[in-house]
């Protein structure tokens, strides 16, 4: 089967419609049992598109090895006009549910990006969000939303990380950021070491599931999720 490579065609179409910047967004950590979920955003200046090339090797982040993602990480940061990663904690996921939490994480990323790039309310922004559902716009109307200079016009793209270069780059940056955080968390507290997040990044690997059964959830687990029950016969 022929591999699909991301292009800048969707970004160029949005630029032709008047967007000054096109933003690609993607989430990581939605299905994890522990740790935050994160949303990465990458900004492309529309004026740069005529001579901008898709970075070598960029693809759906799930198709790349951890070593390959890490190797291209710095180049992607330099390629973009701006980038940011927003997070929602395991406690916020438990309180709000994953969809609203992802919306707030995306708005946090957008706020950091826009403030860092000094984008004002008069700036025309278009966003491409990976997936079939816009969880950003509804979250912007909530009390939990951060201060945002301008809310971009959001369009969704199924398999956006496979088709849109900006989304693919955002996915890689967010994935590397979250993976590195989970490794640091695993090493930060001996009580967290048995869950082996340095290997599974908070997802439900056999070793992680076994540790939850044996020890119960940690302070960083999503307790509202269907975690394995502790086995009273162990210990």
Averaged pLDDT, 58-87: 75
Residue 206 lies in a domain: no
Annotated binding site for a divalent metal cation: 26-27, 141
Q: What is the pLDDT of residues 181-197, one digit of tens each?
A: 999 999 999 999 999 99
Q: What is the pLDDT of residues 106-123, one digit of tens each?
A: 999 999 999 999 999 999
Q: What is the pLDDT of residues 93-109, one digit of tens each?
A: 999 999 999 999 999 99
Residue 131 lies in a domain: yes
Residue 191 lies in a domain: no
Q: H or E element: which one contains 166?
A: helix 165-188
* Helical pair 165-188 and 66-79, crossing angle rounded to 10 deg: 120
**Tokens linked to 215:** 């020890």
Domain that holds residue 162: 9-178
**Distances from the Cα of 198 to the Cαs of 72, 179, 187, 205, 223, in angstroms?**
20, 8, 8, 12, 20
Which residues in 149-178 are b (16+ Cβ under 10 Å) and which e?
bebbebebbeebbbbbbbbbbbbbbbbbbb
Question: What is the rounded CA–CA span in Å between residue 221 and residue 231?
Answer: 17
Annotated binding site: 26-27, 141
What DSSP state is assigned to residue 7? Answer: B
For residue 145, the domain's CATH number is 3.30.420.10
Residue 187 lies in a domain: no
The string of DSSP letters for 171-197 reads HHHHHHHHHHHHHHHHHH-TTTGGG-H
Residue 35 lies in a domain: yes
Averaged pLDDT, 58-64: 60
Total domains in the fold of the chain: 1
Residue 229 lies in a domain: no
Contact assessment for residue 169 and residue 128, using Cβ atoms and an 8 Å cutoff: no
Residue 194 lies in a domain: no
Residue 172 lies in a domain: yes
């Amino acid at each position: 089967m022929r591999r699909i490579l991301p292009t800048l065609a969707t970004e160029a179409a949005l630029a032709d419609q008047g967007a000054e910047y096109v933003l690609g967004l993607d989430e990581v950590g939605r299905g994890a049992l522990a740790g935050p979920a994160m949303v990465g955003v990458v900004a492309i200046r529309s004026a740069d598109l005529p001579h901008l090339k898709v970075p070598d090797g960029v693809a759906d982040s799930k198709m790349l090895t951890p070593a390959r993602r890490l190797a291209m990480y710095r180049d992607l940061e330099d390629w973009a006009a701006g980038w940011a990663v927003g997070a929602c904690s395991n406690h916020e996921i438990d309180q709000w549910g994953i969809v609203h939490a992802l919306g707030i994480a995306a708005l946090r990323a957008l706020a950091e990006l826009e403030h860092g790039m000094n984008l004002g309310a008069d700036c025309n922004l278009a966003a491409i969000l990976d997936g079939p559902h816009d969880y950003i716009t509804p979250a912007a109307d909530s009390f939990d939303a951060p201060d945002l200079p301008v809310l971009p016009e959001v369009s969704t793209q199924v398999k956006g990380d496979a088709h849109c270069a900006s989304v693919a780059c955002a996915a890689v940056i967010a994935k590397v950021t979250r993976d590195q955080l989970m490794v640091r968390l695993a090493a930060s507290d001996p009580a967290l070491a048995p869950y082996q997040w340095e290997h599974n990044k908070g997802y439900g690997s056999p070793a992680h599931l076994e540790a939850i059964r044996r020890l119960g959830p940690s302070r960083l687990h999503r307790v509202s999720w269907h975690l394995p029950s502790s086995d009273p016969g162990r210990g």
